[in-house]
C-alpha cells in the first residue's frame, strides 16, 4: 500500500470535493481501491486531471482505436506529443492539431494565443522546428456583437503569438453558424520539420536520471484547465476566466530555440511540454511511457507566487514550461544552453525504479500512486449511441418557401456569406512568409512550403464541413477527409497522413456519441482508402452552451509531399486563353448544400454520398498531371458547388490586382439532372457533388490532360476558356446564360468580412 500525508491546511477529501473535481462515484471508488485508502487532496487533483476526458480519452478510446495508424510513411503514430511521417532524403514532418475551445470562449485573445503556444511546444518537443501553423475556427454569425468580439479577439490572439515566435500561418478555415454562438471553436495545428535522426520521444528512462523544470516559473494560472475543458460551458464559465492561462510568445521563442539546441546537442533523454494538466501530465505520461517511477519535489519548482501548495504546483497550467529528463552529468551543459537563451532549468525530481509516482514537499510525501495504473486504470466508457429523431427529420427535409435569390443572384449571396467569402481579413493579420520558405500562402486550396534547402515541398491544409457531418456524420466524416485530400492534391502534392481534432458535444448524450462514432467511422474509412493514416490528434468534448451542443466538427489537418517545388499548382486561373475543364461528375446534389442553407434557409437534406474510389482516382490524377506540368491551375470544388469554384478561380488570389473573366458552356455537363425542389440550373451550379475539381490548362496540353484523365478513370470535360482581365464570368446552360462582372464578384467576395467587422477588433 502506498502512503501519503495531507499537506497542512489542505481541505479533507469529502464527496463534495470529489464532485468538484469532476470525478464520478465509480471513478472515485476505483481510486480508493487502487490506493487502498482515501486519497489526499493532491492525489485527488492528480487523478482529476489525468482522468479528465482531455487527458484520458475515457469516452473515446475504443472508437479512436479503429483509426488506421500504420503505413510505410509512419515514423511515429498516436501516443506521442505529435505524429511523425517520413518525407525524403532523411527529412520527416511532425504535426499535430489541438483545440483550445473552452478558454477561448471566456477569454478569446489569451485562449487562442495559448492554444497556438501549446501546439508549437508539442511539435518542437519532438525535435522538429515548427515551419507552419494552421487554424480552424468556428463562431456564431457575425451579426451578433459578441461573435464579432470573439472572432476579432481569437484572430488577434493567434496572430500575435505565431507572429512573434516566427512561424508562418499557411492556411486555415473559418466558418460561421448559429450552432457555435456561445461556444466558438479554436483548433490550432502546427507542422514541424526534422531530420529523422533528431526524433526525440517523451519517454522517461534511466533510474537516477534527473527531471528538470525548464522555462517560465509556475504560477496559479490555469489550475484545472484540463478539467475545465471537460465540462459543458455555462453561465458559471465566466468565473473560470482566472483559469485561462496567459501567453508569452517571447519566452516561447526562447524555449523553442533552447529545446532544439538541447536536442541537437544530445543533452536530454526525453522532453515534454507542460501542457494540459501541467507538471502532472508531463511527468506521469513520460514515466508511464518509459515504464519507470518518478519522484518530484514540488518545493524545488521555481514559482512566481509565494505560498503555493503542492496541489497548485502540480495542477498549474502556467505557459511556456517544459519538463526535461537528463543524465545528472549533463545538467551543467543543459543549464548553459538555457542561460544562453535567458531561461532557467532546475532539477525538481528523479527517475526511480519502484514504479511509483511520488510527490514530496519539503520531504513529506503528499502523493504516492502506482504510476502505470494512474494512466492505465482510468475507467473506459462505451457510451450509448443513438441517432436523434430530429437529425433524421432534418435529413429528410426539403426547402419550402421562396428562394432568397434567383439562380444568378444566388452566387452573389453565397460569395457574401462569411463562411464562403475571402478570409483575407483574417490571414492578413498572420505572418505567412517568415522563414522565407512559403511557396503558396493562405487563400488557396492548401499552403505549400519548401523543405529546408531541398527541391521538394510540403503541402498543408485543415478542413471540416460541419454541415455535412451534422446531417450525416458518416458521409460527412468521409467528406471531410476527402476535401482535405483534394486540397492537398490540387497543389500537386501527394496526401500523406492526417491529424484530427474531434470537436463534439457531451458524450453522455446518445445523439452526440452517435455523431462522434459515425464521423470517426467515416474518417477511418476514408483514411484507409487514401492511405493517409491518422498520426494523432485531440478530442474536445463537452462543447455545449446553454443553447445546446455545437455542430459536430471533426477537423482534419493533412500534410502532403510535393515531389518537386516546380510542380506546384496554384488555385486561380493564370492566363487568358487557357482552357477550363471540370473533373468529376454532377448529379446536382443540393442536400446539405450551402445553397440550401443560405438561399433556401434550410440546413437539411441528404448530403452527397462520397465515392472514395472516385476521390482517390481524382487525387492521383491531380498529382500525376502536376508532375507532367500539365496544369495552369487546379481548384477543389466543395462548398457552394461549381459556380463558387469557378468564381473563386476567376477572381484570382487575395492580392491579384484584377480578376480574369471566364466563358463556360455547361450544355454537356450534368446531363440528366432532375430536381424537384429548385430550378435544374440551381442544382447544376450549386450542387455539392463530391470528387470534383476545376482545372485550367494551356490549350496545346488539353489532349494530354484528357488522355491522362482517361487513364485514371477520372471524368474530364472541356467546358470553356479563361477570359481577359476584368472581364465577365459567363456560364451558359441549356436553359440560359448567366453573366457576372468579375470585378463585382471580387468586391462582394473580398469585402464580405471587412464590411461586417468595420470597427471591431480595430
Instruction: Give 370 or 654: the residue with its C-beta nearer to another protein.
Output: 654
What angle (nearest 5°) sits at the alpha carbon of residue 109, between those of residues 104 and 115? Answer: 60
Helix, strand, coil percentages in the chain from 3-state DSSP, rounded to 5: 40, 25, 40
Among 80, 160, 312, 544, binds another protein (CB under 8 A): 160
Give the 3-state secondary structure of 354-380.
CCEEEEEECCEEEEEEEHHHHHHCCCC
Taking contact as CB under 8 A, which single stretch among the options 110-118, 154-162, 194-202, 327-335 is the one that binds another protein? 154-162
Instruction: Give 155 or 693: the residue with its C-beta nearer to another protein.
Output: 155
* Rg of the chain (C-alpha set): 26
Instruction: Give 26 or 658: the residue with its C-beta nearer to another protein.
Output: 658
Taking contact as CB under 8 A, which single stretch among the options 48-56, 64-72, 191-199, 424-432 is the one that binds another protein? 424-432
Smallest distance, another protein to C-beta of residue 565, A: 6
C-alpha distances (whole Å) from 522 to each of 172, 440, 606, 609 are 22, 30, 15, 11
Phi, psi of 195 (to 5 degrees): -80, 135
- Annotate each residue in 162-191 with x if it binds another protein (CB under 8 A) or - if it does not, as one string: -xxxx-------------------------
- Is residue 248 involved in binding another protein (CB under 8 A)? yes
- Is residue 151 involved in binding another protein (CB under 8 A)? no
Smallest distance, another protein to C-beta of residue 423, A: 13
Q: Does residue 567 carry a catalytic annotation?
A: no
Q: How far apart are CA 83 and CA 96, in angstroms?
A: 6
> Which residues 322-351 are close enough to bind another protein by CB under 8 A?
341-342
- Is residue 250 involved in binding another protein (CB under 8 A)? yes
Q: How far apart are CA 545 and CA 466, in angstroms?
A: 18
C-alpha distances (whole Å) from 482 to each of 498, 530, 640 are 11, 9, 16
Torsion of CA 530, 532, 533, 539, to 10 degrees: -100
> Which residues 554-613 are close enough to bind another protein by CB under 8 A?
565
- Is residue 257 involved in binding another protein (CB under 8 A)? yes
Task: Give strand pairing partners of 74.
Answer: 85
Among 430, 474, 530, 740, binds another protein (CB under 8 A): 430
Instruction: Give 61 or 156: the residue with its C-beta nearer to another protein.
Output: 156
Q: How far apart are CA 642 and CA 590, in angstroms?
A: 12
Taking contact as CB under 8 A, which single stretch among the options 41-49, 426-434, 523-531, 617-625 is the one that binds another protein? 426-434
Smallest distance, another protein to C-beta of residue 103, A: 21
> DSSP readout, 111-179?
HHHHHHHHHHHHHHTTTPEEEEEEEEEEES-TTSHHHHHHHHHHHHHHHHHHHHHT--EEEEEEEE-GG
Among 9, 197, 390, 762, binds another protein (CB under 8 A): 762
Question: For 2-34, b where at least 16 C-beta lie within 10 A, e where not — what string?
Answer: bebebbeebeebeeeebeebbbeeebbebbeeb
**Set of cell numbers at residue 244:** 485561462
Give the CA count within 13 Å in the CB-facing half-sphere of 390: 6
Kind and range of the H or E run holding 390? helix 389-396
> Which residues 451-510 are close enough to bind another protein by CB under 8 A?
455
Among 140, 171, 172, 249, binds another protein (CB under 8 A): 249
Nearest to 470 by CA among 551, 399, 541: 551
Instruction: Give 321 or 478: the residue with its C-beta nearer to another protein.
Output: 321
- Is residue 436 involved in binding another protein (CB under 8 A)? yes
- Is residue 761 involved in binding another protein (CB under 8 A)? yes
Smallest distance, another protein to C-beta of residue 657, A: 5
Q: Are 605 and 590 in contact (CB under 8 A)?
A: yes
> Which residues 437-456 are close enough to bind another protein by CB under 8 A?
437-439, 450, 455
C-alpha distances (whole Å) from 578 to each of 147, 446, 597, 698 are 42, 22, 33, 5
- Annotate each residue in 272-291 with x if it binds another protein (CB under 8 A) or - if it does not, as one string: --------------------
> Which residues 640-669 are close enough to bind another protein by CB under 8 A?
654-655, 657
Helices (H), 166-277: 225-228, 249-264
User: Of the listed 54, 59, 224, 635, which one is catalytic?
Assistant: 54
Q: Give the position of cell 518530484.
A: 296
**Set of cell numbers at residue 553:** 466538427
Q: Does residue 100 carry a catalytic annotation?
A: yes
Q: How far apart are CA 417 and CA 371, in angstroms?
A: 52
Q: Are 412 and 606 in contact (CB under 8 A)?
A: no
**Set of cell numbers at residue 517:** 462514432
Among 281, 432, 503, 748, binds another protein (CB under 8 A): 432
Q: Give the position of cell 529523422.
A: 196
Taking contact as CB under 8 A, which single stretch among the options 160-168, 171-179, 382-390, 472-480 is the one that binds another protein? 160-168
Smallest distance, another protein to C-beta of residue 257, A: 8
Smallest distance, another protein to C-beta of residue 747, A: 14
Instruction: Give 329 or 758: the residue with its C-beta nearer to another protein.
Output: 758
- Is residue 427 involved in binding another protein (CB under 8 A)? yes
C-alpha distances (whole Å) from 734 to each of 298, 666, 683, 723 are 76, 7, 13, 21
Smallest distance, another protein to C-beta of residue 174, A: 16
Smallest distance, another protein to C-beta of residue 117, A: 14
Strands (E), 244-304: 270-273, 293-297
Instruction: Give 255 or 666: the residue with its C-beta nearer to another protein.
Output: 255
Question: Residues in contact with another protein, total (CB under 8 A)?
Answer: 37
Among 61, 86, 156, 755, binds another protein (CB under 8 A): 156
User: Of the listed 100, 567, 572, 589, which one is catalytic?
Assistant: 100
Taking contact as CB under 8 A, which single stretch among the options 201-209, 248-256, 311-319, 320-328 is the one that binds another protein? 248-256
Among 37, 217, 253, 394, binds another protein (CB under 8 A): 253
Residues marked active site are found at 54, 100
Binding residues for another protein, per CB under 8 A?
156, 159-160, 163-166, 248-251, 253-254, 257, 341-342, 427-439, 450, 455, 565, 654-655, 657, 761-762
Amino acid at each position: 500500500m502506498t502512503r501519503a500525508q495531507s499537506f497542512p491546511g489542505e481541505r479533507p477529501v469529502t464527496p463534495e470535493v470529489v464532485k468538484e473535481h469532476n470525478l464520478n462515484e465509480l471513478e472515485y471508488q476505483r481510486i480508493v481501491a487502487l490506493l487502498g485508502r482515501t486519497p489526499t487532496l493532491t492525489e485527488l487533483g492528480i487523478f482529476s486531471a489525468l482522468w479528465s476526458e482531455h487527458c484520458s480519452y475515457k469516452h473515446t478510446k475504443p472508437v479512436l482505436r479503429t483509426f488506421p495508424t500504420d503505413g510505410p510513411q509512419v515514423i511515429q503514430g498516436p501516443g506521442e506529443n505529435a505524429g511523425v511521417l517520413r518525407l525524403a532524403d532523411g527529412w520527416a514532418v511532425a504535426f499535430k492539431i489541438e483545440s483550445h475551445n473552452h478558454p477561448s470562449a471566456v477569454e478569446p485573445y489569451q485562449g487562442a494565443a495559448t492554444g497556438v503556444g501549446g501546439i508549437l511546444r508539442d511539435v518542437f518537443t519532438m525535435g522538429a522546428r515548427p515551419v507552419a501553423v494552421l487554424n480552424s475556427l468556428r463562431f456564431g454569425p457575425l451579426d451578433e456583437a459578441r461573435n464579432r468580439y470573439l472572432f476579432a479577439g481569437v484572430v488577434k490572439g493567434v496572430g500575435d503569438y505565431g507572429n512573434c515566435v516566427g512561424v508562418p500561418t499557411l492556411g486555415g478555415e473559418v466558418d460561421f453558424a448559429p450552432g457555435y454562438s456561445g461556444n466558438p471553436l479554436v483548433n490550432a495545428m502546427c507542422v514541424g520539420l526534422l531530420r529523422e535522426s533528431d526524433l526525440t520521444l517523451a519517454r522517461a528512462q534511466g533510474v537516477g536520471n534527473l527531471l528538470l523544470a525548464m522555462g517560465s516559473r509556475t504560477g496559479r494560472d490555469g489550475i484545472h484547465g484540463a478539467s475545465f475543458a471537460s465540462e459543458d460551458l455555462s453561465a458559471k464559465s465566466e468565473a473560470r476566466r482566472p483559469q485561462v492561462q496567459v501567453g508569452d510568445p517571447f519566452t516561447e521563442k526562447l524555449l523553442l530555440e533552447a529545446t532544439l539546441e538541447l536536442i541537437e546537442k544530445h543533452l536530454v533523454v526525453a522532453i515534454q511540454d507542460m501542457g494540459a494538466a501541467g507538471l502532472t501530465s508531463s511527468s506521469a505520461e513520460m514515466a508511464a511511457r518509459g515504464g519507470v517511477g518518478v519522484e518530484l519535489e514540488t518545493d524545488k519548482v521555481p514559482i512566481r507566487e509565494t505560498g503555493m501548495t503542492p496541489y497548485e504546483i502540480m495542477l498549474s497550467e502556467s505557459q511556456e514550461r517544459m519538463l526535461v529528463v537528463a543524465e545528472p552529468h549533463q545538467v551543467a551543459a543543459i543549464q548553459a544552453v538555457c542561460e544562453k537563451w535567458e531561461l532557467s532549468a532546475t532539477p525538481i525530481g528523479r527517475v526511480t525504479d519502484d514504479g511509483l509516482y511520488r510527490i514530496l514537499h519539503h520531504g513529506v510525501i503528499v502523493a504516492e500512486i502506482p504510476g502505470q495504473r494512474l494512466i492505465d486504470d482510468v475507467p473506459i466508457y462505451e457510451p450509448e449511441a443513438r441517432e436523434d429523431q430530429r437529425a433524421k427529420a432534418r435529413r429528410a427535409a426539403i426547402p419550402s418557401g421562396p428562394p432568397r435569390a434567383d439562380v444568378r443572384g444566388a452566387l452573389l449571396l453565397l460569395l457574401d456569406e462569411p463562411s464562403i467569402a475571402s478570409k483575407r481579413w483574417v490571414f492578413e493579420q498572420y505572418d505567412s512568409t517568415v522563414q522565407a520558405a512559403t511557396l503558396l500562402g493562405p487563400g488557396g486550396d492548401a499552403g505549400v512550403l519548401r523543405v529546408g534547402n531541398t527541391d521538394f515541398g510540403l503541402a498543408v491544409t485543415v478542413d471540416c464541413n460541419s454541415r455535412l457531418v451534422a446531417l450525416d456524420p458518416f458521409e460527412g466524416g468521409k467528406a471531410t477527409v476527402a476535401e482535405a485530400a483534394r486540397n492537398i492534391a490540387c497543389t500537386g502534392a501527394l496526401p500523406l497522413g492526417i491529424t484530427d481534432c474531434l470537436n463534439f458535444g457531451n458524450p453522455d448524450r446518445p445523439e452526440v456519441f452517435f455523431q462522434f462514432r459515425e464521423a470517426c467511422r467515416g474518417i477511418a474509412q476514408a483514411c484507409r482508402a487514401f492511405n493517409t493514416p491518422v498520426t494523432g490528434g485531440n478530442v474536445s468534448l463537452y462543447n455545449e452552451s446553454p443553447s445546446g451542443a455545437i455542430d459536430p466538427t471533426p477537423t482534419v489537418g493533412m500534410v502532403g509531399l510535393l515531389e518537386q517545388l516546380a510542380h506546384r499548382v496554384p488555385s486561380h486561373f493564370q492566363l487568358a486563353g487557357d482552357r477550363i475543364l471540370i473533373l468529376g461528375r454532377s448529379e446536382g446534389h443540393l442536400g446539405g448544400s450551402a445553397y440550401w442553407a443560405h438561399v433556401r434557409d434550410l440546413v437539411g437534406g441528404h448530403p452527397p454520398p462520397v465515392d472514395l474510389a472516385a476521390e482517390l482516382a481524382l487525387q492521383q490524377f491531380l498529382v500525376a498531371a502536376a508532375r507532367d506540368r500539365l496544369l495552369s491551375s487546379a481548384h477543389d470544388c466543395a462548398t457552394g458547388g461549381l459556380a463558387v469554384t469557378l468564381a473563386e478561380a476567376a477572381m484570382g488570389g487575395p492580392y491579384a490586382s484584377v480578376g480574369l473573366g471566364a466563358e463556360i458552356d455547361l450544355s454537356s455537363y450534368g446531363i440528366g439532372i432532375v430536381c424537384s425542389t429548385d430550378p435544374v440550373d440551381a442544382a447544376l451550379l450549386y450542387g455539392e457533388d463530391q470528387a470534383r475539381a476545376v482545372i485550367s490548362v494551356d490549350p496545346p496540353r488539353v489532349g494530354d490532360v484528357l488522355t491522362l484523365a482517361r487513364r485514371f478513370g477520372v471524368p474530364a470535360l472541356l467546358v470553356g476558356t479563361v477570359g481577359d482581365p476584368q472581364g465577365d464570368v459567363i456560364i451558359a446552360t441549356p436553359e440560359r446564360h448567366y453573366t457576372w462582372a468579375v470585378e463585382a464578384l471580387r468586391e462582394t467576395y473580398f469585402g464580405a468580412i471587412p464590411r461586417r467587422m468595420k470597427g471591431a477588433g480595430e
